[in-house]
Amino acid sequence: MKTIRYPLSKKVLKMKNKVSLIIAVYKRVDFLELIFKSLENQTFRDFQVIIAEDDCSPMVKHFLEEKERNFPFEIKHISQEDNGFRKNILLNKAMRVADGEYLIFIDGDCILDKNFVEDHVKNAKPNVCLFGRRVMLDPKTSERLVKTKDFKYLSFMKLLFTKTGHLESAIRFPFFISWRKTGVLGCNFSVFKEKMIEINGFDEDFTRPLFGEDTDIERRLTLIGVKLQCSKFQTIQYHLHHPTKDRDEDWKISGELYERKVKEGKSVCDNGYIKR
């Protein structure tokens, strides 16, 4: 694993980072550009950015080297060779280098609303895992955003006349508390680091997507008494459309492994943050 710490800009040399935003990235530098633009617009600005790259792309490295010169947040970059789906391994590595007491997890294909980090931080509680939803941008809107880098295409009125899905998740009610208690998404959740360590982080037995990076985390956090709180209508994010492979086999393999984990009933995984 390669870990690169980019120096702090003069704007944040005196900041004490207590929040770490972990971004799981895979190849798409054009998406990363949009994410960084959305980070620069955040209303809450005292946080550290960790780029967790499931690859060793020279393009990503170059982008981050250029960005850190004027970027108002500390950036750490960790990477690993692209040897199949190893997201859980990568996320555990990211947790190890995170300085924040509070961790926010997103994916490298999601643009953040300007209030995203603030919404996570203001709702943070010691024994609560906060989880949000996402607006599913249609291909045409995603392409426009990549080409123009213009966030005017994210306005609700413009999206209303597109094929964007879950548009209701773009509506922000800052004081609304959802009653939904299940459904953690790996692309939009936050929790105190000590709680993730208590369950030994992400279970690296999961080598396929769909369960290990969110559903299993939800299950094990619940077993140690962590309460789940949905932040729908806050922590808004926009998922950029991209091609995906058929996932029938992933559903089958990951689903069967998850069922075995459920039967075992363990809150602490063996093959996680610390190897047992």
Query: What are 188-247's pLDDT values in tens digits?
Result: 999 999 999 999 999 999 988 888 889 999 999 999 999 999 998 999 999 999 988 878
For residue 241, the 8-state DSSP code is P
Mean pLDDT across the stretch 247-254?
88
Q: What angle do CA 57, 60, 65 make, to 5 degrees?
A: 125
The widest CA-to-CA distance across the chain, in whole angstroms, is 52
pLDDT of residue 209: 81
CATH level 2 (architecture), domain 2-264:
Alpha-Beta Complex (3.90)
**The overall pTM is greater than 0.95:** no
Buried b (16+ CB within 10 A) or exposed e, 91-122: bbbbbebbebebbbbbbbbbbbbbbbbbbbbe
Pairing of strands 110-112, 2-6: unpaired
Query: What are 164-190's pLDDT values in tens digits?
Result: 999 999 999 987 777 677 789 999 999
Closest by Cα among 142, 102, 138, 97 to 118: 102
pLDDT of residue 8: 39
Domain ranges of the chain: 2-264
pLDDT of residue 163: 96
The residues near 60 (Cβ < 8 Å, ≥ 6 apart) are 25, 27, 29, 32, 51, 53, 77, 79
